[in-house]
Amino acid sequence: MKIIRARTAGFCMGVSLALRKLDREVTENNAPIATLGPIIHNPQVMAHYEERGVRCLRDTTQVAPGQRVVIRAHGIPVAEETALKATGASVVDATCPKVKRAQLGIAEERGRGSTLLLFGEADHPEVRGLLSYAGEGAMVFGSLDELKRLPLRDDVDYFLAAQTTQDRAGFEDVVAWLRQRLGRDIPVLQTICDATRKRQQEAVDIARRVQAMVVVGGFDSGNTRRLADVARAQGVFTVHVETVDQLPVDELRKKSVIGLTAGASTPKSLIDAVQRFLESL
């Protein structure tokens, strides 16, 4: 079995940075450590930290006295950060610098009196955080069709931004449609992360050369799900798994060339395990 593994598979800068911060807290501090929500969207990574005594808090009411709390890589809403600081916990901000830049860019545009249109998944933690910087009137949409159904007004100054892990081609379609619909240019914040674009591009390139694609990463990970989507869109049989035991072995055994990639929150050890298994088929 020939395996073509994406060079971009696995941790991005923001995830590596967040986990380095959490590792430092675990090894250098005696205080109990917690993360506010999953630090990244990968259950195997979360289990690893849980074994090392790191608690994952649902919200700020669960913060214990004296706890050190690490803010997740996706960032959190302004009100949650304020509530967190009010608990007296020592806060370590592991928000990805690119998400932070998107938050601040949105706040700046909002300061000019414009209203945000955000291309993203409404129920994603990063999106909830971004929206909190946008003030009243902001609207979120997950596709061009959803955008077309929004009650846009001609007397409102809009600006556009995207969740960092959104599909770049889809965003360009959104920009083009909005220009036409509003009959004018509007400010567009370039918030889509390069890590996402490179992973998606490489997934497309590989998907065109193989008989099946395997995408490894958390089922809750938006960027991993979209990697599987872009591979599938090339018409190739694509599976998204979190761990090696979830592979559809009978189906994959029939293929001779398989592409392998992974989301930005997938540890190398999980990708290696899948690669070793596929090579053994």
Catalytic residues: 126
In the numeric block, which tokens belong to residue 32? 């109990």
Percentage helix, strand, coil for the chain under 3-state DSSP, each rounded to 5: 45, 15, 40
Least separation in angstroms between residue 149's CB and ligand SF4 is: 28
Q: What is the CA radius of gyration of the chain?
A: 20
Q: Are 11 and 40 in contact (CB under 8 A)?
A: no
Which of 264, 270, 271, 278 is the binder for ligand SF4 (CB under 6 A)? 264
38 Ramachandran zone, left/alpha/beta (phi>0; psi -120 to 50): beta
Q: Which three-class secondary structure string do you get for 161-198?
A: EECCCCCHHHHHHHHHHHHHHHCCCCCECCCCCHHHHH
273, amino acid identity: A
Q: Which is nearer to ligand SF4, 101 or 232 (CB)?
A: 101
Annotated binding site for [4Fe-4S] cluster: 12, 96, 193
Closest residue to ligand SF4, judged by C-beta, is: 14
Angle in degrees, CA 70, 60, 138, rounded to 5: 90
Least separation in angstroms between residue 165's CB and ligand SF4 is: 5
Q: Is 12 a residue that touches ligand SF4 (CB under 6 A)?
A: yes
Q: Are 35 and 57 in contact (CB under 8 A)?
A: yes
113 Ramachandran zone, left/alpha/beta (phi>0; psi -120 to 50): left
Near ligand SF4 by CB under 6 A, which window of 9-17, 30-38, 130-138, 230-238?
9-17
**How many residues form the binding site for ligand SF4 (CB under 6 A)?**
15
Q: Which is nearer to ligand SF4, 194 or 205 (CB)?
A: 194
Q: How many of the other CB atoms lie within 10 Å of CB of 47?
A: 9
Q: Is 96 a residue that touches ligand SF4 (CB under 6 A)?
A: yes
Q: Is 130 a residue that touches ligand SF4 (CB under 6 A)?
A: no
- Using CB under 6 A as the binding rule, the residues of this chain from 185 to 244 that contact ligand SF4 are 193, 195-196, 223
Q: Is 54 a residue that touches ligand SF4 (CB under 6 A)?
A: no
Q: Is 98 a residue that touches ligand SF4 (CB under 6 A)?
A: yes
Least separation in angstroms between residue 270's CB and ligand SF4 is: 17
CA 277 to chain centroid, in Å, comes to: 27
Near ligand SF4 by CB under 6 A, which window of 55-63, 83-91, 96-104, 179-187?
96-104
Q: Is 99 a residue that touches ligand SF4 (CB under 6 A)?
A: yes
Which residues sit at the interface with ligand SF4, rule CB under 6 A?
12-15, 73, 96, 98-99, 164-165, 193, 195-196, 223, 264
